[in-house]
Each structure stands twice: as C-alpha cells, then as structure tokens.
Structure 1
C-alpha cells in the first residue's frame, strides 16, 4: 500500500539532503514536491495545499533547531502532519450496548459483506464477543448466501429471512433473536448500490432510525480514490455515521482516500482491510500509518501480530525440544503456519523499517511456503522427527511426492540444519550473552 506515494515523498525529502540549515527557499522546493506527490496520490488539491502550508510554517518556525539535520526535521514535521491529517489518534468502537448494534453502510462492491464477516471474527477472537451477523441485503443476487458462507467460515451464526422484503423488519427481528439467544453484538449488513440514489439512502436511514445502532460504519473501497471521499460525504449527510472502514488497502491504491477522508467528513478511520483472509483486519492507527507512508515501517504492529499468534505453552515445549536437539520438521511446519496467520508476506515485510523500499519492485508470493510445505508433507513420520535418516533414495521419493526437485529438497535440509544450529546456539551461553548485551543498549 502507498508504494508510489512513499517513493515520491522519499525523493522530495532528498531535496534537503546536503543542506546545512532550513531556509524558506529549500523548504519551499521540498514542499512543492510533497504537494505534487499528495495530489498524484489523489488527495484533494485544497487539502494538499493546506497540508504543505502548515508544514512550511512549522519548518521555518523551527529553523533554529540544531539537533536535527534539515531533512530529519522536515521528515518529523511531515510525519506529524500526516498523522494529524488522518485523525491524530486511534479511535475505538462503541460496544456499550447489550447487544451492541453495528450498522454497516456503503456502495455495492466496496467489500461490505466480507468486512462484516471480518468484523464479526475480530469481535469474537479479540473482544470475546458472541456476534450475530444479519443479512439485510435483499437485492443483490446471492448476497444472503455469501453472508452465510462467511459466517460458516468463521463459526458465527447468520440471521436471515428470505421471505421478508423489509430490511427494517429483518433488523428488528434479528435484534429480538439476539436478545433471546445471548448474542451481545449484532452486525447488520445492509444493501449497497452501484451509485448513490434516493431509495438506497431512505432505506438505510429507515433502518438506522429503527434500530438506533451504537456504531454506524461506512465501508469504502480505497481503490476508488477521491470518489470514495465524495461518497462518504453524501452518506454522512444522511446517516451521520461514526467511523470509516477502508477496504482493499493491499491493492494498487494511491492512498488519497485514507489521507483525505478525515478532513472532508470529520469522522475517524476506524479499521482497514488488508487482504482476503478473515483475519486481514487492522485497527487504524494514524501515527503508524504515517510511519509506513514515510518508509519508516511499523514495528509495533508487527510485534502485535506476532504476539497474537504466540502460544506460551507451545513456546515452552519448543524450547525443551531445541535444548534436547529434538526440533523436527513438524515443529518447523507449525512455525510456518503461525507466520502465515500474521498476514500476507508483502504487508509484513513493509512493517520492517527500510524493507518496504528495498522490496518495492519485488513480487512476494503469499504461497512462498507452498513448496516447503509440500516437501515436509511428503516425508514420513520418521523423516520429520529424524531428518538425519534422509538419504539419496529418500530424497528422490520426497521430491517426486512433492512435485519438486532433489536440489530443492537438499536446499531445505541445509537451511533446516542451519536454523536448528542457530536456535540451539541462541538457547545456550552465546544467546544469553547476546540478549544481555542488547538489554544494556536500551
């Protein structure tokens, strides 16, 4: 996400490199390039102009600072302004009701139904809620079926009534059902249209008035750029929604919607969708997103994702196996599964400072582990637990069974051996000494 914008902002900042101090001239040149980069990213021109004017005022005002180089100082100012432009601080959800009622709104094709499932999964796994999904899209063919498939995928019940054609009655019946059956969160997936029309607006306004949701979210496809901002404005005038959800941020998006929407509708971005999987949902942190846009990575989010997949009991068992030299391919396979649950690989690499820039033109396949998994699955139980028994004939059988070559099998065995030695070393005296040295550097 934001690859093009990140690249252009990086080039703009280079204008200041080599300058000993900030002056009105060199800052103006840099900010002119930044304004162009924002407009190219489909940010409204007026917003881009106000952004650079504020940044210029702050840069000139802080010209006396000597602790930072001009480039570093302007990067900090731009980061602060980007953070403010996108909302300043993270906004939570209102889950006070019992049940908490969440109304989803947006145009057809914005990813509303899929996101409803992602949100239900998020509330179930992260907030310990018992959510109920409600199918209120009575127009789009197979919309009800789609929500049922999503619900089955994440283990969440879906309330629907194919015979009822009034979304208000469906919503009210669903809330009554939720109260009777112990559901403490109700997510209502409403109908979308290909364009804004009066019938659509009246229908969702009627549902909103009837159910009085604790949280109304507007789902928008970030790939539609400035059109997404205009649509959000029209919906907000009728619904006065509580927050925005940006979907498809993992696609070829210019990012203008994420940067502009808060300024136009004065409503926070609450969530972003970053992939196809039901786990691909992130709470929106303006400061972290500003870091990523400026190529600084997002280590905090990376650590949080890792912690979500971290199992202390499994870690203890693994530690004992490594100490006894019993770490096998089944354990390795388990580690791969945990990494895959963290999200798509390019997104994860973009969270590492500097890595996003290096991998800008590199296509990282989400199935990068597919070959490794196939090789391991082609091994016998003995071979997985005792890799040392794998000889030439076994390698040929494993390669044939996994659709790979003997060379690839050899490569995996070599990498596995190196990793096992490194893990063993990290558990020994050298690892402890290294950790102690690192702790003193804090």
Structure 2
C-alpha cells in the first residue's frame, strides 16, 4: 500500500469518526431539523477539517494526546456556536465519544502487540511501515462503535441531561484511564516496559465490564425510581378524580334532597298562574338535572360516575361508547382500585380511538358477575395493530420509558385479587378481558 493511499484512507476514517460524533450529538443534545445552512456548513467544516488533520497525524503516530485535546476543543467550540445552552452536557458528550474511540484504539493496539511483538513500534505505532495493519486496527474501533450506534439510532431520542453528574464523573475517570493506558502503550512500544499486550487488553476489558455493570445497576435503579414516581402520580390523579366524583355524588344527594323545595316552588307558581316564571324555573331545573344526571349501568355509584365521565370525554372526540348494563352489586375492591382499573383501561381505549382516521370510532364495555366470578371486557377500534414484544404491549409514545404505567397499575390490581389479564388483537379492534374467578368479600 502506497503512502498517499494510506493517508487518504486514514483521512476518510477520521472523517467517518467525526461524522459519528455529530450523530451522537444529534441523538442527545442537538435538533438536526432546526439547523440553518450556516450551521450545517460549520458542522461539515468540523468533520472535514478535523478528519484531514487527524488522518495526517495518524500517519505519523498511532495516538497523540495533543491531537485528542485539540479535537475535543474544536468540536466543543463548534457545538457551542450552534447551541450555547447545555454547554456542560455538550462537553461531557463530546469527551465520552472521542475518549471511547481512543479507548478502543488502545484495546486493539494491545491485542496486536501479541502478533507483532517488538515490531509493533515500527509496524504500527510510529510512521508505520505496515500501514494496512494500522488501518485494520482503526477500522475495528470505528466499526464496533458504528454497529452499536446503528442499533441505538433506530430508537427514540435519548435524554441524558438527568445523568449530567454521572457523565461528568465518568469523563474524569475515562480521561485518567486513557492517559494511563497511553503511557503504558508508549512504554511497551518503545521497549521501556516488557510487552504484555494481552494483560493490558484483559485489564481494559475488565474495566469496561465492571463499569458497564455499575452503569447498568444505576440505570435500572433510576428507571425503577422513575416508574414508582409515575405510578404514585397516577394514583394521586385517580385519588383526585375519586374526590371529584364524591363531590358530584354529594351534589346529586343535595339535588334529591331539594326536590321537595322545588316542588313547593312549582306549586306556588302554578297557584299564582305565573306561567312565565313557572316555565323559566322548569327550564333551569331541567338543565341542572340534565347536567348532573348519572345513568346507572352497574348500580355501583362510583363506577357509574366514572363511566359517565369517560363516556362524555370519548363523545367529545366523536367516539361512540356502548356500555352493557349489568348489576354488579357489592365488590371487594377499594374505590381507588375501581377508579384506577377502569380509568386506565378507558383512557387507553380513548387514546387508541383518537388515532383512528376515516373509520368508525367506538368503545364497548361489558361486565358480568356471577356469584364470586367477575368478568370485565373492554373493546375498542384501532387504526393499526399495536406493537408487541415478548407478550407485552410496547408504547408508541416518544418516551417509552415513562409510559405504559397505566396497564402496569391495572395488572397490579388484577394480581392482588388473583385474576387473569388477557388481550386480543384483531385487524380493526383491540380487546382486553379481565376475569376474577374467586372474589372474596369482607
């Protein structure tokens, strides 16, 4: 391989490396669609300019910490000119990416030492006489990162801002390790220390595995914490909803209690033959009773009020709601559990119907109770089949991590009362069936 071809390939690899850096920034901190033309020119100037400089530098030496620092500073400056906010986050993201690439370069370099041994210095490290080997090592690093990122980029945009403190700690540790392994690589390449490439590579792999494990535990803990917070918020919303319905129930009781007074007033107007006031008063009463009227589908006042509320919400979205009348009588659930179970299921059904275009929107609610067995069936029209993975429904919302807790709350209640939760997906409708086989009553 001739030197000029070697340099061109190194420049192209370095450009590819910087292009991936900007993809990471798009995925975390920048809005690509909002970039103006001059910003795009600046970005490509950074990719091409640093690519050329890095490629020429790597023709002379495998890794230069001065060039590494220069690349970080120039990239951070470009991003800062594009977006002045979140600068600390920008610094952390840029260092993490570039340091990670360098870390992989060292890892593959240590492995190659076992092949080239004392020839590593002249073959790869300094003005390499075997440029093909150097290119293969650099290609391994960047190819590995590209394979990982390609899978990540297919997912939703990630928000790492809440991890800024952890990222900062990680940046410091990564830079310290990078500097330490750079000295070790130089000492082994120049013969100052004995070559133990495999030992160094294994130590790097061990650090990677331990660090990844720690990050995995921290991430899982944070997700569980966020999940618990979300569930608490939903339960609080249900509690408030329950209080509102209780207030409405009290209002209905007051109306019933006041019927005697309404009748006396109507009788007075009739005796006085004041038909105008009588008609106006009747109109006011009709409006008040129409507004507060609750249909009794289940004969459980709290549930009937919830169904009426959700039916009203759905009909505002041109969704037809069919509720099968069944006398359920006494149930062992707490009122907040009734609100949570039916409220979450109907919220999901309404949301699915809102996405239906050009077809009839509908929701059907059926309940059936026989002795200690209770069956709840909720069907709704759908625009397209929801996504499934490992028997679980996957949210199509932007931030999947903080959605789907409605069904989790429902399943938690079903498990508490030893019921079964099933769903069926057809071409144009979705069906959820919950069965409690042996309800016990206090």
Task: Give the TM-score normalised by structure 2.
Answer: 0.27
Task: Give the TM-score normalised by structure 1.
Answer: 0.27
**Larger Rg computed on CA atoms:** 2
